[in-house]
Amino acid sequence: MKKSINVMLLSLVIILLIPVTLSASSDLDIDFFARIFNVEDDKLDYFTKFDISNDNLSTIFYLYSNGGRTISKNQFEYLANNQYNWRELSIYFGLPPIMFEDKLVKLRRPQRNRMQVPFNKKHYKNSRKTKNVEEKINMSPGKYEYYYRNKDRNIEEKIEVKQNKYEYYYKSNKMEEKLSAHNQTNNYEYYYKNFKTGKEIKKEGQGRLINSEKIYSELREEYEKEEDKKDSEQDVGSSIQFDFKIRFSF
């Protein structure tokens, strides 16, 4: 009997000493994602099936929202199952591979379905042209070019990424927006003007490389500020509205 108890105790000790690794999905910050990215519960249920951290998922959502791209299951599963770096991934979305020194980059251009490079392509070329619309994209190692022109709506958008520089330009009847960033020094210049309201923004400085931990922590900080604000006002019926919209094709 004593021997049997000793064996049981030894087995229990061994079990307790075995490290238990919980998948990152079990720790997903569900309320944060639902509120800051306006994601519905049924969509979030899908993402909890993956072993992905809050840092990585918030950065992927940030890129999709900022790039105006629609998430499909195939695209997300590719990202969840493959190695990538944030600088390269940001360029796939036509976005600058930096963050501002004081906040995240949030382009103010309107959302629309933009032509994109598939994730598994290093060389890619595509174009379309109608009477009023021209759109083309060209990517190869060290180079990314995107161009869009809508004559009817008077919209022009250009993105060019070379070895050392990122350049973005957008103009319509409503607004103008420009951003240039040096890929080695991270120095940037940003300009925005709303033609209807007269609002104008000029920024320049030395940005930071895209970092998933910093993106999550900064978004989380904004989320907590809004939560504190809501609690202080004791407005139970209010809901947090952030300027990040995620579109899904499933």
Per-residue model confidence as pLDDT tens digits over 93-128: 999 989 999 888 989 999 888 998 998 888 999 999
Per-residue model confidence as pLDDT tens digits over 194-238: 999 999 999 999 999 999 999 999 999 988 887 777 666 555 444
Cβ proximity of 178 and 194 under 8 Å: no
Q: Report yes or no on 102 lying in a domain.
A: yes
Which pLDDT score, from 0 to 100, does residue 6 have?
A: 46
Which pLDDT score, from 0 to 100, does residue 14 have?
A: 32
Cβ proximity of 173 and 162 under 8 Å: no
Q: Can you tell me which residue has the tokens 């598994």?
A: 120
Q: Report yes or no on 30 lying in a domain.
A: no
Which pLDDT score, from 0 to 100, does residue 84 have?
A: 80
Q: Report yes or no on 45 lying in a domain.
A: no
Q: What's the domain range around 118?
A: 52-215
Per-residue model confidence as pLDDT tens digits over 45-94: 999 999 899 999 999 999 999 988 899 999 999 998 888 889 889 989 99
Q: Report yes or no on 166 lying in a domain.
A: yes
Which pLDDT score, from 0 to 100, does residue 206 have?
A: 95
Q: Report yes or no on 243 lying in a domain.
A: no
Q: Report yes or no on 76 lying in a domain.
A: yes
Count of domains observed in the chain: 1
Q: Report yes or no on 172 lying in a domain.
A: yes
Cβ proximity of 67 and 93 under 8 Å: yes
- What pTM does this model have? 0.82
